[in-house]
Structure 1
Amino acid sequence: MTVRRRISRSPLLVLPLVLPLVLAACAPRQDTGGSPVSALTRVAAADRQAAPDLSGDGLDGRALRLADYRDRVVVLNVWASWCGPCRAEAPELSKSQKELGTKGVQVLGVDTDAERGSGRSFERAHGLVYPSLHDPGSRKLLRLPRGYAPRALPYTLFIDRAGRIAAKYLSPLTAADVRTIVGPLLAEKA
Protein backbone atom coordinates (compact mmCIF):
# COMPACT_ATOMS: atom_id res chain seq x y z
CA MET A 1 0.00 0.00 0.00
CA THR A 2 1.33 3.39 -1.00
CA VAL A 3 1.00 6.20 1.45
CA ARG A 4 0.62 9.66 -0.01
CA ARG A 5 1.44 12.68 1.97
CA ARG A 6 0.00 16.06 1.35
CA ILE A 7 2.61 18.71 1.05
CA SER A 8 1.63 21.99 2.52
CA ARG A 9 1.61 24.86 0.05
CA SER A 10 2.33 27.43 2.66
CA PRO A 11 3.99 30.57 1.28
CA LEU A 12 6.66 30.20 3.94
CA LEU A 13 7.74 26.87 2.46
CA VAL A 14 7.90 28.25 -1.08
CA LEU A 15 9.77 31.44 -0.18
CA PRO A 16 13.22 29.81 0.15
CA LEU A 17 12.79 28.36 -3.33
CA VAL A 18 11.53 31.53 -5.01
CA LEU A 19 13.65 34.18 -3.28
CA PRO A 20 16.95 33.29 -5.05
CA LEU A 21 15.18 33.51 -8.43
CA VAL A 22 13.72 36.90 -7.61
CA LEU A 23 17.07 38.22 -6.43
CA ALA A 24 18.81 36.89 -9.54
CA ALA A 25 16.31 38.69 -11.75
CA CYS A 26 17.11 41.96 -9.97
CA ALA A 27 20.87 41.60 -10.41
CA PRO A 28 22.62 44.18 -12.59
CA ARG A 29 22.85 43.29 -16.27
CA GLN A 30 26.23 42.39 -17.63
CA ASP A 31 27.50 41.85 -21.13
CA THR A 32 28.90 38.37 -20.87
CA GLY A 33 29.29 38.03 -24.61
CA GLY A 34 26.09 36.10 -25.07
CA SER A 35 26.01 33.68 -22.18
CA PRO A 36 22.57 32.33 -21.25
CA VAL A 37 22.26 34.86 -18.41
CA SER A 38 23.13 37.87 -20.56
CA ALA A 39 20.52 40.04 -22.25
CA LEU A 40 23.05 40.71 -25.03
CA THR A 41 24.20 38.23 -27.65
CA ARG A 42 26.85 39.52 -30.05
CA VAL A 43 27.52 37.82 -33.39
CA ALA A 44 31.06 37.66 -34.79
CA ALA A 45 31.35 39.40 -38.17
CA ALA A 46 32.11 36.13 -39.97
CA ASP A 47 28.96 34.49 -38.54
CA ARG A 48 26.43 37.25 -39.21
CA GLN A 49 23.31 36.54 -41.25
CA ALA A 50 21.60 39.01 -43.53
CA ALA A 51 18.58 40.74 -42.07
CA PRO A 52 15.53 40.39 -44.32
CA ASP A 53 14.33 43.53 -46.04
CA LEU A 54 11.46 44.30 -43.71
CA SER A 55 9.15 46.76 -45.39
CA GLY A 56 5.64 48.12 -45.17
CA ASP A 57 3.75 51.14 -43.91
CA GLY A 58 5.07 53.17 -41.04
CA LEU A 59 2.81 54.41 -38.30
CA ASP A 60 2.62 57.71 -40.18
CA GLY A 61 1.33 55.87 -43.29
CA ARG A 62 4.51 56.36 -45.32
CA ALA A 63 6.42 53.42 -46.79
CA LEU A 64 9.37 52.18 -44.70
CA ARG A 65 12.10 49.76 -45.75
CA LEU A 66 14.95 48.45 -43.63
CA ALA A 67 17.11 48.39 -46.78
CA ASP A 68 16.82 52.19 -47.00
CA TYR A 69 19.12 52.38 -43.98
CA ARG A 70 22.07 50.47 -45.46
CA ASP A 71 25.40 52.08 -44.62
CA ARG A 72 23.99 52.91 -41.17
CA VAL A 73 24.00 50.84 -37.98
CA VAL A 74 20.33 50.07 -37.34
CA VAL A 75 18.85 49.57 -33.89
CA LEU A 76 15.71 47.57 -34.78
CA ASN A 77 13.45 47.71 -31.74
CA VAL A 78 10.29 45.57 -31.57
CA TRP A 79 7.61 46.99 -29.26
CA ALA A 80 3.89 47.24 -28.50
CA SER A 81 1.90 49.96 -26.76
CA TRP A 82 0.68 47.58 -24.02
CA CYS A 83 4.25 46.54 -23.07
CA GLY A 84 5.39 48.20 -19.81
CA PRO A 85 9.14 47.74 -20.40
CA CYS A 86 8.65 49.12 -23.93
CA ARG A 87 7.21 52.29 -22.42
CA ALA A 88 10.25 52.56 -20.13
CA GLU A 89 12.80 52.21 -22.93
CA ALA A 90 11.07 54.41 -25.54
CA PRO A 91 12.54 57.71 -24.24
CA GLU A 92 15.97 56.07 -24.07
CA LEU A 93 15.75 55.04 -27.71
CA SER A 94 14.70 58.55 -28.73
CA LYS A 95 17.67 59.89 -26.77
CA SER A 96 19.92 57.41 -28.60
CA GLN A 97 18.60 58.55 -31.99
CA LYS A 98 19.24 62.19 -31.11
CA GLU A 99 22.77 61.46 -29.84
CA LEU A 100 23.90 58.94 -32.44
CA GLY A 101 21.94 59.79 -35.58
CA THR A 102 24.68 62.06 -36.91
CA LYS A 103 27.26 59.32 -36.24
CA GLY A 104 25.61 56.79 -38.54
CA VAL A 105 23.01 55.13 -36.29
CA GLN A 106 19.31 54.80 -37.09
CA VAL A 107 16.76 53.60 -34.56
CA LEU A 108 13.86 51.90 -36.34
CA GLY A 109 10.85 50.63 -34.41
CA VAL A 110 8.55 47.75 -35.25
CA ASP A 111 5.12 48.21 -33.68
CA THR A 112 3.32 44.89 -33.22
CA ASP A 113 -0.01 46.39 -32.07
CA ALA A 114 -3.09 45.15 -33.91
CA GLU A 115 -4.37 48.71 -34.40
CA ARG A 116 -2.23 51.42 -35.96
CA GLY A 117 -3.96 53.99 -33.71
CA SER A 118 -2.51 52.38 -30.58
CA GLY A 119 0.98 52.70 -32.01
CA ARG A 120 0.45 56.31 -33.06
CA SER A 121 -0.80 57.18 -29.56
CA PHE A 122 2.28 55.50 -28.06
CA GLU A 123 4.52 57.43 -30.47
CA ARG A 124 2.98 60.76 -29.43
CA ALA A 125 2.86 59.96 -25.70
CA HIS A 126 6.53 58.99 -25.60
CA GLY A 127 7.83 61.55 -28.09
CA LEU A 128 9.44 59.03 -30.41
CA VAL A 129 11.83 60.74 -32.82
CA TYR A 130 12.41 57.68 -35.00
CA PRO A 131 10.07 55.91 -37.45
CA SER A 132 8.24 52.68 -36.68
CA LEU A 133 7.03 50.04 -39.10
CA HIS A 134 3.53 48.78 -38.32
CA ASP A 135 3.57 44.97 -38.13
CA PRO A 136 0.34 43.70 -36.54
CA GLY A 137 0.79 40.17 -35.26
CA SER A 138 4.55 40.25 -36.03
CA ARG A 139 4.00 38.69 -39.46
CA LYS A 140 6.92 40.51 -41.08
CA LEU A 141 9.22 39.45 -38.23
CA LEU A 142 8.64 35.81 -39.17
CA ARG A 143 11.08 36.45 -42.03
CA LEU A 144 13.97 36.88 -39.58
CA PRO A 145 16.58 34.11 -39.64
CA ARG A 146 16.14 31.20 -37.25
CA GLY A 147 17.04 32.18 -33.70
CA TYR A 148 16.28 35.86 -34.23
CA ALA A 149 12.49 36.01 -34.10
CA PRO A 150 11.32 37.79 -30.93
CA ARG A 151 9.74 35.69 -28.20
CA ALA A 152 9.09 38.53 -25.76
CA LEU A 153 8.98 42.31 -25.82
CA PRO A 154 10.88 44.51 -25.89
CA TYR A 155 13.33 42.93 -28.31
CA THR A 156 16.10 44.65 -30.21
CA LEU A 157 18.34 43.62 -33.08
CA PHE A 158 21.48 45.54 -34.01
CA ILE A 159 22.17 45.47 -37.73
CA ASP A 160 25.59 46.39 -39.11
CA ARG A 161 26.20 48.70 -42.06
CA ALA A 162 26.21 45.74 -44.46
CA GLY A 163 22.67 44.77 -43.39
CA ARG A 164 23.68 41.79 -41.26
CA ILE A 165 22.45 40.98 -37.74
CA ALA A 166 25.33 41.81 -35.39
CA ALA A 167 23.63 41.47 -31.99
CA LYS A 168 20.34 40.88 -30.23
CA TYR A 169 19.20 42.28 -26.91
CA LEU A 170 16.45 40.66 -24.86
CA SER A 171 15.68 43.31 -22.27
CA PRO A 172 14.77 47.01 -22.07
CA LEU A 173 17.59 49.23 -23.33
CA THR A 174 19.05 52.42 -21.95
CA ALA A 175 20.83 55.01 -24.05
CA ALA A 176 24.08 53.83 -22.41
CA ASP A 177 23.36 50.25 -23.53
CA VAL A 178 22.84 51.43 -27.10
CA ARG A 179 26.11 53.42 -27.09
CA THR A 180 28.00 50.42 -25.75
CA ILE A 181 26.59 48.02 -28.32
CA VAL A 182 26.81 50.26 -31.41
CA GLY A 183 30.30 51.59 -30.61
CA PRO A 184 32.18 48.59 -32.06
CA LEU A 185 29.76 48.39 -35.00
CA LEU A 186 30.43 52.03 -35.92
CA ALA A 187 34.16 51.31 -35.82
CA GLU A 188 33.84 48.46 -38.34
CA LYS A 189 34.57 49.17 -41.98
CA ALA A 190 31.47 49.03 -44.17
Structure 2
Amino acid sequence: MRRRRRLPALALLLALAACAPPQETGGSPASPLTRVPAADRKTVPDLTGSSLDGKAVRLADYRGKVVVLNVWASWCGPCRAEAPELSKVQRELAAKGVQVLGVDTEARRESGRAFQREHGLVYPSLHDPGSRKLVRFPKGFLPQALPYTLFIDRDGRIAAKYLSGLTEAEVRAVVRPLLAEKHAKT
Protein backbone atom coordinates (compact mmCIF):
# COMPACT_ATOMS: atom_id res chain seq x y z
CA MET A 1 0.00 0.00 0.00
CA ARG A 2 2.74 2.47 0.92
CA ARG A 3 4.58 1.68 -2.29
CA ARG A 4 1.55 2.72 -4.35
CA ARG A 5 1.40 6.09 -2.61
CA ARG A 6 5.08 6.74 -3.32
CA LEU A 7 4.82 6.10 -7.06
CA PRO A 8 2.66 9.18 -7.86
CA ALA A 9 4.90 11.35 -5.67
CA LEU A 10 8.00 10.01 -7.41
CA ALA A 11 6.45 10.63 -10.84
CA LEU A 12 5.64 14.23 -9.85
CA LEU A 13 9.21 14.84 -8.62
CA LEU A 14 10.65 13.46 -11.87
CA ALA A 15 8.33 15.66 -13.95
CA LEU A 16 9.35 18.74 -11.98
CA ALA A 17 13.03 17.81 -12.25
CA ALA A 18 12.70 17.71 -16.03
CA CYS A 19 12.25 21.49 -16.05
CA ALA A 20 15.10 22.13 -13.63
CA PRO A 21 18.55 23.01 -14.91
CA PRO A 22 20.92 20.04 -14.78
CA GLN A 23 24.23 20.25 -12.98
CA GLU A 24 27.06 20.05 -15.50
CA THR A 25 30.80 20.33 -15.42
CA GLY A 26 31.73 23.92 -16.13
CA GLY A 27 28.49 25.37 -14.81
CA SER A 28 27.26 26.10 -11.33
CA PRO A 29 23.89 26.41 -9.65
CA ALA A 30 24.61 30.14 -9.26
CA SER A 31 25.16 30.59 -13.00
CA PRO A 32 23.20 28.61 -15.58
CA LEU A 33 25.23 30.32 -18.33
CA THR A 34 28.29 28.74 -19.91
CA ARG A 35 30.14 30.83 -22.50
CA VAL A 36 32.41 29.22 -25.08
CA PRO A 37 35.58 31.11 -26.07
CA ALA A 38 35.68 31.87 -29.81
CA ALA A 39 38.66 29.56 -30.39
CA ASP A 40 36.82 26.60 -28.81
CA ARG A 41 33.44 26.98 -30.53
CA LYS A 42 31.98 24.07 -32.48
CA THR A 43 29.86 24.49 -35.59
CA VAL A 44 26.24 23.66 -34.94
CA PRO A 45 24.73 20.98 -37.19
CA ASP A 46 22.09 22.29 -39.55
CA LEU A 47 18.59 21.79 -38.24
CA THR A 48 15.96 21.41 -40.91
CA GLY A 49 12.30 20.60 -40.78
CA SER A 50 8.98 22.34 -40.60
CA SER A 51 7.75 24.99 -38.25
CA LEU A 52 4.62 24.66 -36.16
CA ASP A 53 2.92 26.56 -38.99
CA GLY A 54 4.11 24.01 -41.56
CA LYS A 55 6.70 26.28 -43.19
CA ALA A 56 10.20 25.06 -44.02
CA VAL A 57 12.79 25.96 -41.37
CA ARG A 58 16.54 25.66 -41.82
CA LEU A 59 18.99 26.90 -39.21
CA ALA A 60 21.63 27.56 -41.89
CA ASP A 61 19.33 30.21 -43.41
CA TYR A 62 20.12 32.39 -40.39
CA ARG A 63 23.91 32.34 -40.92
CA GLY A 64 25.19 35.88 -40.46
CA LYS A 65 22.80 36.46 -37.55
CA VAL A 66 23.17 35.71 -33.86
CA VAL A 67 20.67 32.92 -33.23
CA VAL A 68 18.98 32.32 -29.90
CA LEU A 69 17.97 28.65 -30.22
CA ASN A 70 15.43 27.94 -27.49
CA VAL A 71 14.27 24.37 -26.81
CA TRP A 72 10.86 24.20 -25.12
CA ALA A 73 7.63 22.30 -24.46
CA SER A 74 4.21 23.69 -23.60
CA TRP A 75 3.95 21.76 -20.32
CA CYS A 76 7.18 23.30 -18.95
CA GLY A 77 6.46 26.15 -16.52
CA PRO A 78 9.77 28.00 -17.01
CA CYS A 79 9.29 27.69 -20.79
CA ARG A 80 5.92 29.39 -20.45
CA ALA A 81 7.45 32.19 -18.37
CA GLU A 82 10.29 32.93 -20.82
CA ALA A 83 8.21 32.84 -24.04
CA PRO A 84 7.05 36.49 -23.84
CA GLU A 85 10.63 37.55 -23.01
CA LEU A 86 11.93 35.82 -26.14
CA SER A 87 9.23 37.41 -28.30
CA LYS A 88 10.28 40.80 -26.96
CA VAL A 89 13.90 40.04 -27.86
CA GLN A 90 12.85 39.05 -31.39
CA ARG A 91 10.83 42.24 -31.89
CA GLU A 92 13.49 44.56 -30.50
CA LEU A 93 16.73 42.97 -31.72
CA ALA A 94 15.84 41.53 -35.13
CA ALA A 95 17.00 44.70 -36.89
CA LYS A 96 20.39 44.38 -35.14
CA GLY A 97 20.92 40.84 -36.45
CA VAL A 98 19.37 38.60 -33.79
CA GLN A 99 17.01 35.73 -34.64
CA VAL A 100 15.13 33.72 -32.04
CA LEU A 101 14.35 30.20 -33.20
CA GLY A 102 12.30 27.88 -31.02
CA VAL A 103 12.43 24.10 -31.01
CA ASP A 104 9.19 22.50 -29.84
CA THR A 105 9.92 19.00 -28.50
CA GLU A 106 6.35 17.79 -28.05
CA ALA A 107 4.92 14.87 -29.97
CA ARG A 108 1.69 16.66 -30.87
CA ARG A 109 2.14 19.64 -33.15
CA GLU A 110 -1.22 21.05 -32.01
CA SER A 111 0.09 21.45 -28.43
CA GLY A 112 2.92 23.58 -29.77
CA ARG A 113 0.57 25.62 -31.94
CA ALA A 114 -1.66 26.30 -28.94
CA PHE A 115 1.40 27.42 -26.94
CA GLN A 116 2.48 29.65 -29.83
CA ARG A 117 -0.96 31.29 -30.03
CA GLU A 118 -1.39 31.62 -26.26
CA HIS A 119 1.96 33.37 -25.83
CA GLY A 120 1.88 35.34 -29.09
CA LEU A 121 5.25 34.03 -30.26
CA VAL A 122 6.66 36.24 -33.02
CA TYR A 123 9.49 33.86 -33.95
CA PRO A 124 9.33 30.49 -35.70
CA SER A 125 9.55 27.21 -33.85
CA LEU A 126 10.81 24.02 -35.46
CA HIS A 127 8.69 20.99 -34.56
CA ASP A 128 11.09 18.31 -33.26
CA PRO A 129 9.16 15.63 -31.36
CA GLY A 130 11.39 13.98 -28.78
CA SER A 131 14.37 16.16 -29.78
CA ARG A 132 15.34 13.71 -32.52
CA LYS A 133 17.05 16.40 -34.60
CA LEU A 134 18.97 17.81 -31.63
CA VAL A 135 20.83 14.55 -30.94
CA ARG A 136 23.33 15.52 -33.66
CA PHE A 137 24.61 18.40 -31.53
CA PRO A 138 28.14 18.15 -30.14
CA LYS A 139 28.66 16.46 -26.79
CA GLY A 140 28.08 18.92 -23.98
CA PHE A 141 25.45 20.82 -25.94
CA LEU A 142 22.56 18.36 -25.96
CA PRO A 143 19.48 19.51 -24.05
CA GLN A 144 19.02 17.52 -20.87
CA ALA A 145 16.23 19.58 -19.33
CA LEU A 146 13.84 22.31 -20.42
CA PRO A 147 14.05 25.14 -21.11
CA TYR A 148 17.42 25.01 -22.77
CA THR A 149 18.93 27.75 -24.93
CA LEU A 150 21.95 27.80 -27.20
CA PHE A 151 23.43 31.05 -28.50
CA ILE A 152 24.90 30.65 -31.96
CA ASP A 153 27.32 33.23 -33.32
CA ARG A 154 27.12 34.77 -36.80
CA ASP A 155 29.42 32.05 -38.15
CA GLY A 156 27.11 29.23 -37.03
CA ARG A 157 29.14 28.18 -34.00
CA ILE A 158 27.86 27.54 -30.48
CA ALA A 159 28.93 30.50 -28.36
CA ALA A 160 27.00 29.84 -25.14
CA LYS A 161 24.41 27.67 -23.49
CA TYR A 162 21.87 28.62 -20.85
CA LEU A 163 20.37 25.91 -18.64
CA SER A 164 17.33 27.67 -17.24
CA GLY A 165 14.53 30.06 -18.11
CA LEU A 166 15.69 33.39 -19.53
CA THR A 167 14.68 36.99 -19.20
CA GLU A 168 15.05 39.58 -21.93
CA ALA A 169 17.90 41.21 -19.98
CA GLU A 170 19.78 37.90 -19.76
CA VAL A 171 19.42 37.32 -23.50
CA ARG A 172 20.66 40.84 -24.24
CA ALA A 173 23.68 40.31 -21.97
CA VAL A 174 24.69 37.21 -23.94
CA VAL A 175 23.99 38.51 -27.46
CA ARG A 176 25.56 41.96 -27.03
CA PRO A 177 29.18 40.75 -27.24
CA LEU A 178 28.27 38.27 -30.01
CA LEU A 179 26.87 41.11 -32.13
CA ALA A 180 30.15 42.99 -31.65
CA GLU A 181 32.27 40.09 -32.93
CA LYS A 182 33.57 40.13 -36.49
CA HIS A 183 31.75 37.81 -38.85
CA ALA A 184 33.72 35.67 -41.30
CA LYS A 185 31.46 36.12 -44.33
CA THR A 186 31.18 32.99 -46.41
Normalised by the size of structure 1, how large is the TM-score?
0.82
Distance 1:142 1:35 in 2: 21
Letter of the 2:60 counterpart: A
Q: 2:111 aligns with which of 114, 118, 127?
A: 118
1:77 aligns with 2:70: yes
Deviations 1:61-94 (A, max 9, x none): 0110000000000000000011111000000000
Total equivalences in the alignment:
158
Letter of the 1:182 counterpart: V
Distance 2:132 2:164 in 1: 21
Give the structure 2 partner of residue 154 of structure 1: 147
Distance 1:133 1:153 in 2: 15
Give the structure 2 partner of residue 138 of structure 1: 131
Q: CA deviation at 1:97?
A: 0.4
Distance 1:35 1:63 in 2: 34
Give the structure 2 partner of residue 128 of structure 1: 121
Normalised by the size of structure 2, how large is the TM-score?
0.83
Give the structure 1 partner of residue 100 of structure 2: 107
Distance 1:36 1:177 in 2: 16
Q: The residue matched to 1:91 in structure 2 has which SS?
A: helix
Distance 1:68 1:186 in 2: 17
Letter of the 1:180 counterpart: A
Letter of the 2:116 counterpart: E
Deviations 1:44-76 (A, max 9, x none): 000000000011011000110000000000000
1:43 aligns with 2:36: yes
Q: Which runs of 4+ in 1 moved over 6 A?
A: none
Q: The residue matched to 1:172 in structure 2 has which SS?
A: coil
Distance 2:35 2:65 in 1: 18
Distance 2:64 2:52 in 1: 24
Q: CA deviation at 1:167?
A: 0.1
- Higher relative contact order, structure no. (Cα contacts within 8 Å, ≥ 6 residues apart): 2
Aligned-residue sequence identity (percent) comes to: 75
1:183 aligns with 2:142: no
Distance 2:88 2:159 in 1: 21
Letter of the 1:91 counterpart: P
Gaps of 5+ in 1: 1-24, 26-33
Q: The residue matched to 1:75 in structure 2 has which SS?
A: strand
Q: The residue matched to 2:115 in structure 1 has which SS?
A: helix
Give RMSD over aligned pairs. 1.1
Q: CA deviation at 1:36?
A: 2.2
Give the structure 1 partner of residue 165 of structure 2: 172
Distance 1:172 1:35 in 2: 15
